[in-house]
Structure 1
Amino acid sequence: MNLYQGTPNKRAQAWGFDLMIASTIFISGILLFYVYSINYPRESYEKLDKLFIEGDFISEVLLGEGLPVNWDQNSVSRIGITTDKKINETKLESFYLLANNQTNPLGYKKSKSLLNTNYNFFMNFSEPIIIEEVAIPEGGIGQNFQGYPVTNLVKITRVTIYQNKLVSLNLYLWE
C-alpha cells in the first residue's frame, strides 16, 4: 500500500502557513524597531538644538543694555545687565531682585517671560556675584538646578567684564 497516494498531508500545509505568518510578524517587529531607533535620537538632538539656540539668544539679550536703557524692576521690558559692554552692577542687582523667588514670588516667572523662554534658567559668573557688598548665597540668578532632576541641561558660556575683571558668564538652560 502506497502512503503517498491520495490527498496531500494537511498538517504540512498548516505548518507552512504558520511559518509564513510568524515570519511576517517577526519581520514587521524588526522593521518597527529599526524605524523607531532611527527617529528617536533625532528628537533628542532637535531638543538640544532648540535649547542651544534659545540659550544663545538669552545670553545675547542678557549681555545687552535692556529696555529701557536704565531699567528697574518696575519699568523693564527687556532684561539686559550691561552698560558699555561691562556688567552694570545696578542692573545686575535689579535682575537678581526680579528673578529671586524668595524676595519676589512671581519674579522668576516674570523674568522667564521677559527673556521670552519657557525653559528654566540659572545664570552665574566665574567670580561670585556681589549684591550690596555681599556674595549672593544662591551662587547665581534664577532657579538653581543642583539637587533637582533636570532634563536636557545645556550650558552657554560668554566672556564679559565684571568689577573690572574678565569673567565668564555661565547660563544654564533645561527643561
Structure 2
Amino acid sequence: MSTSRSDGRDRDEEGRARNARPRDGLGRPLPYGTPGVERQPEGIVRTPAETLTEAQDLLDAGRPFHAHEVFEDAWKSGPGSERALWRALAQAAVGLTHAARGNARGGARLLRRGADGLAAWTGEAPAGLDTEGLIRWARALAARVDRGAPVDAAGSAPRLRRAA
C-alpha cells in the first residue's frame, strides 16, 4: 500500500519510495486520477519459464516497461548465478521502452548494454531463452534507432525463446 506524504512523494509503510501514479503502456507517468494500464506487481518470485512467458506477453502487447519489471523481479529474487542474465534482459526491455518513447540516444545505449550483458553470459540459458537471437535483435534495433527510425514497441518486440 502506498501513501502520499506532505512532500508529494509516494512511500510505503517502511518509508521506501513507491510511485503510485498511473502509467501508460510505455511506463510514462500520468496525472493522478487518470486511468492508466495496470502495473506489474513488484517482488513476485517466478520460475524462469513463468518469467519468460509473462515478459513475452507484455512485450507482444507493446508494454516493454512492464516486461522490464518482470525481468527485474527475476534479477532481484533469482539465484545469484543468473542475476546478470536477468539484468541484461531488463536493460534491453528498458532500451526498447526508451526507443519507443522517442529517446533514441538512451534507447540505443540501453539496447547495447543489454546485448553486451547477454553476450557476456556464459551459463546455460534457462527455459529455452534465445540469448544469441536476443543479442542480434538488440544490436539491430539499436542500429535502427541510431538511424532515426521510429520504433513501435509491439512491432519491434523480440522473441525471447528459441523457435521450437
Which TM-score bucket, shorter chain as reference?
under 0.3
Please give the TM-score of this superposition, normalised by the length of structure 1. 0.25
Please give the TM-score of this superposition, normalised by the length of structure 2. 0.26
Higher strand share: 1
Higher helix share: 2
User: Of the two, which has the highest radius of gyration?
Assistant: 1
